[in-house]
């Protein structure tokens, strides 16, 4: 067990119940366990992780009572309820640990690692005099872009008028007003969310699942503003091997299907764990895939096409056309899919995990960002790293975009750039690389608390 000055360290890690957030927390927990920390994952009982996949970790379910609160329809309310309802239980649990220590000669210091969506854990840590560290599962760029919204609103520039949409936001180069989080949402809800999620407790440090070379400018900005250590330890999935962290069962049959496809011929389509499509849009996607004449692997999450359980929205003729040309699954082992030689392009909503996973495998992308940090990530992909372009969701446009990415010269150039990025990622995560070193520094930092 990790020890410093005769005291052992217990880490209480508090993930939010979103797929894109649970995964990096469990990956980090697995790494820190390998460094001899004892770990408790204190998690909401909504979307709980599968504890049997992580026998080395201790799991503490927190009764959340969010039933009836729809996470995608009422995001702010959902997290308000979760933070209110989980607080007391975590508080009592930490008191128990502290009391047990007071009565024992075997001393253990407790450090809390939480996310911005589980801010109650930071409050509880502060009340009990414990150190709290914030883990961020989205890009570093998202943080300043999110925090600047109240100021822009006060200046009359958010929501941005049409005349500003294409302009760069002062201080946020290369991001434009149109890339800002929640740009199309009702402003009252956005301000409420920003207010709720702005850290109000003293943090000992930040951990970011990003890489120094990807986001130098945003990281410099954050370091200048917050005078606490910032650890950049991504992409965690390239450093830590974990059993599946998926809430849904991964359909691994797609790997043997990929084995039969030509190298770099398949377009992989997945819009993450939260985005939903209207029936009309989903049908455009289906026709675009069919007409492109490229093999496709399409993840249609159950319930993600509004009004349908799964793929009943496909009219008979279209369903027949799709057969033999591609595969539709409910959930894929995405990291293995992207690492497969048959995959030539990734059509994505540009969630941060998906972005990092594609960059790590050198796979160029078709970008269809929806909300939150996804527009910023898409801007990185299309205009900074130049390894992808935005797709317009209309069947003719899709057909052209897939061909442009998979068979055109331009797509080949994007692949070359993506592969150069992949090489840099390999350096960052190997011995002496920036993420490797940052993880070591993080361990030393926690031991120093
Ligand atoms: C959310 C936000 O949308 C995202 O913008 C933010 O950065 C993190 O939280 P999500 O929409 O789920 O996440 O997207 P993303 O961050 O890409 O995470 C999805 C995860 O699910 C990835 O790790 C991906 O590998 C995994 N996945 C997705 C699968 O394992 N199988 C699938 O079929 C689809």
Task: Provide the mean pLDDT of the chain.
Answer: 94
pLDDT computed for residue 68 by the predictor:
60
Q: Which atom of ligand 1 is nearest to the CA of 299?
A: 33
The CA 369 to ligand 1 mean position distance, Å, reads 12
For the residues 236-255, what does the mean pLDDT come to?
93
pLDDT computed for residue 3 by the predictor:
63
Omega before 44 cis (within 30°)? Answer: no
The CA 195 to ligand 1 mean position distance, Å, reads 25
Tell me the pTM. 0.96
Pairing outcome for strands 326-329 and 343-348: unpaired
Q: For 199-251, where are the alpha helices, taking DSSP H only?
A: 216-225
For the residues 389-412, what does the mean pLDDT come to?
97
Check if the interface score ipTM surpasses 0.90: yes
188-202, 207-221, 376-390: which has the minimum mean pLDDT?
188-202
pLDDT in tens, 248-288: 999 999 999 999 999 999 999 999 999 999 999 999 999 99
Which residue's CA is minimally distant from atom 2 of ligand 1? Answer: 351
Structure tokens at 302: 């159950």
Structure tokens at 133: 């560290």
Residue 351's closest CA among 326, 377, 329, 330?
Answer: 377
Burial environment of residue 334 by CB neighbours within 10 A (0 to 12, 13 to 18, 19 or more): buried
State whether the beta carbon of 25 lies less than 6 angstroms from ligand 1. no
d(CA 6, CA 4): 5
Percent of the chain with pLDDT over 70: 96
pLDDT in tens, 96-153: 988 887 777 666 789 999 999 999 999 999 999 999 999 999 999 999 999 999 999 9
Q: Is the pLDDT of residue 6 over 70?
A: no
pLDDT band of residue 7 (cuts 50, 70, 90) is: low
d(CA 381, CA 141): 13
State whether the beta carbon of 141 lies less than 6 angstroms from ligand 1. no
Q: Which atom of ligand 1 is nearest to the CA of 138?
A: 7
pLDDT computed for residue 66 by the predictor:
74
pLDDT computed for residue 100 by the predictor:
82
State whether the beta carbon of 362 lies less than 6 angstroms from ligand 1. no
Which residue's CA is minimally distant from atom 23 of ligand 1? Answer: 353
The CA 392 to ligand 1 mean position distance, Å, reads 21
pLDDT computed for residue 82 by the predictor:
94
The CA 23 to ligand 1 mean position distance, Å, reads 9
Instruction: Give the DSSP per-residue string, 42-98.
Output: EEESSS---GGG-TTSEEEEE----TT--TTT-HHHHHHHHHHHHHHHHHHHHHHHH
Backbone angles phi, psi at 368, to 5 degrees: -130, 70
Q: Is the pLDDT of residue 1 over 60?
A: no
pLDDT computed for residue 206 by the predictor:
98
State whether the beta carbon of 24 lies less than 6 angstroms from ligand 1. no
pLDDT band of residue 174 (cuts 50, 70, 90) is: very high
pLDDT band of residue 74 (cuts 50, 70, 90) is: confident
Q: Are 124 and 95 in contact (CB under 8 A)?
A: no
pLDDT computed for residue 295 by the predictor:
98
Which H or E element spans position 106?
none
The CA 128 to ligand 1 mean position distance, Å, reads 34
């Amino acid at each position: 067990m990790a020890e410093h000055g005769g005291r052992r360290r217990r880490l209480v890690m508090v993930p939010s119940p979103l797929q894109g957030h649970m995964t990096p927390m469990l990956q980090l927990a697995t790494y820190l366990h390998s460094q001899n920390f004892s770990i408790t994952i204190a998690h909401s009982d909504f979307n709980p992780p599968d504890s049997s996949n992580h026998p080395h970790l201790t799991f503490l379910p927190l009764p959340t009572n969010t039933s009836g609160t729809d996470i995608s329809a009422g995001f702010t309310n959902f997290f308000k309820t979760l933070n209110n309802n989980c607080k007391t239980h975590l508080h009592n649990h930490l008191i128990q640990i502290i009391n047990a220590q007071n009565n024992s000669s075997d001393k253990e210091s407790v450090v809390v690692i939480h996310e911005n969506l589980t801010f109650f854990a930071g409050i509880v840590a502060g009340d009990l005099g414990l150190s709290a560290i914030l883990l961020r599962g989205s890009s570093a760029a998202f943080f300043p872009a999110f925090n600047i919204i109240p100021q822009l609103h006060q200046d009359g520039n958010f929501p941005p008028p049409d005349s500003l949409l294409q302009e760069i936001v002062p201080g946020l180069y290369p991001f434009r007003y149109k890339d800002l989080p929640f740009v199309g949402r009702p402003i009252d809800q956005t301000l409420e969310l920003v207010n709720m999620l702005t850290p109000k407790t003293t943090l000992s440090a930040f951990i970011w699942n990003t890489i120094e070379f990807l986001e130098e400018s945003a990281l410099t900005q954050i370091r200048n503003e917050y005078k606490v250590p910032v650890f950049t330890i991504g992409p965690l999935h390239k450093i830590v091997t974990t059993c599946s962290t998926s809430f849904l069962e991964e359909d691994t049959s797609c790997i043997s299907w990929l084995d039969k496809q030509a190298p770099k011929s398949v377009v992989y389509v997945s819009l993450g764990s939260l985005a939903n499509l209207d029936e009309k849009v989903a049908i455009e996607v289906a026709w675009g895939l069919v007409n492109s004449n490229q093999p496709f692997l399409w993840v249609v999450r159950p319930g993600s096409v509004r009004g349908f359980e799964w793929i009943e929205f496909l009219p008979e003729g279209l369903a027949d056309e799709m057969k033999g040309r591609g595969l539709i699954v409910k959930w894929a082992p995405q990291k293995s899919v992207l690492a497969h030689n048959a995959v030539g392009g990734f059509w994505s909503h540009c969630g941060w995990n998906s972005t990092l996973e594609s960059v790590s495998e050198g796979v160029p992308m078709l970008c269809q960002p929806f909300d939150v940090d996804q527009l910023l990530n898409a801007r990185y992909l299309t205009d900074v790293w130049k390894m992808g372009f935005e797709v317009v969701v209309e069947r003719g446009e899709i057909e052209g975009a897939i061909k442009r990415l998979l068979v055109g010269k331009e797509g080949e150039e994007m692949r070359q750039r993506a592969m150069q990025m992949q090489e840099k990622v390999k350096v960052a995560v190997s011995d002496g690389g920036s993420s490797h070193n940052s993880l070591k520094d993080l361990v030393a930092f926690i031991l120093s608390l």
